[in-house]
Amino acid sequence: MFSIKNLKVSINEKPILQGLSLKIKPGEIHAIMGPNGSGKSTLANTIMGHPKYTISHGEILMDGENLVSLKADKRARAGVFLAFQYPKEIPGVTVLSFLQMAVAAVRKVRGEPQLNPIEFRKLLRSLLAEFSLDAKFMNRYINEGFSGGEKKKMEILQMALLEPKIAVLDETDSGLDVDALKIVAEGINRLASPKRGILLITHYQRILHYIKPHFVHVMIEGQIVKSGGPELAQQLEQEGYDWLRPLVTPL
């Protein structure tokens, strides 16, 4: 069970998240929607432990353990995953060697047996095929020269490899054409399991045509102003966000 309690976060002393709470049980898919600048990416990066964001109040709990003081690597090992909105390039580091190290790190902490290089290559090759990526991607430098769609596919592929307990997908649908969106969404649906919680952060409704969330939350000015079922997303598609602005609690 993953939960966030009354989280207050600022960046360079500017408050962004203003007391946000959320509970995601294993097997649930939650979508957070909101206009630009509402703090959606701040939430994603804060959950993962980006050092730029300062948490002034609140808790991020994974199975009862407070992650707030842990660095990103410890959170990853505890089962948190972030699919980046803008995946970073690391020149000179191949997809193969990067992912091999990552998988070795999480397997070690979970007490799972390590994969030998041949097994790992095989696993990676089959995942690349699943995401319609050429096997040659293995030897390319991570994200360098990748198209927008290839980067997003690679993010979800990493989620498949690392098997997190909670996956935060930050604008994974942005910058994708319809074909790539389908492949990415299918990948996410395959990875939705009774053991895993998923938090979809999105600006647009279109990914929700492919992935059905159990809960939809609307975020405005660093607060969740309304929560509901999938029907809330449809309402937003028709009516926009303005009707929800009066629900923002003034500070």
Partner 1 sequence: MTATLNYIKDLNRETLDKANSTHYMKGARKGLSRELVEYISKEKNEPRWMLEHRLKSLEVFLKKPMPSFGPDLSGLDFDDIIYYAKPGEVTNAHSWDQVPEDIKRTFERLGIPEAERKYLAGAGAQYESKNVYHRLKEKWSKVNVIFEDMDTALQLYPELVQQYFMKCVTMHDHKFAALHGAVWSGGTFIYIPAGVNVNQPLQAYFRMNASSMGQFEHTLIIVEKGAQGNYIEGCSAAKYETPSIHAGLVEIFVKEDARFRYSSVENWSRNTYNLNTKRAIVEKNGVMEWIGGNMGSGCTMLYPCSVLRGEGSSADHLGIAFANTNQIQDTGAKVIHVAPNTTSKVVMKSLSKNGGKAVYRGLLNILKGAKGAKSQIKCDALILDDHSVSDTVPDMKIAENDVSIGHEASVGKISEEQLFYAMSRGLCEDEATALIVNGFIEPIVKAMPLEYAVEMNRLIELEMESAGAVG
Applying CB under 8 A, the residues found at the interface with partner 1 are 48-52, 71-73, 75-77, 81-82, 84, 87-93, 97-99, 101-102, 105-106, 109, 141, 158, 162
- Number of residues written out for the chain: 251
Closest listed residue to residue 42, CA positions, set 194, 167, 209, 222:
222
Cβ proximity of 153 and 176 under 8 Å: no
Q: Which position has the token pair 């909105």? A: 85
Q: Show the tokens assigned to 231.
A: 């029907």
Q: Give the DSSP letter of residue 51.
A: T
Rg for the chain, CA atoms, rounded: 18
Cβ proximity of 200 and 170 under 8 Å: no
Question: Could you give the residue ranges of the DSSP H alpha helices within 13-66?
Answer: 40-48
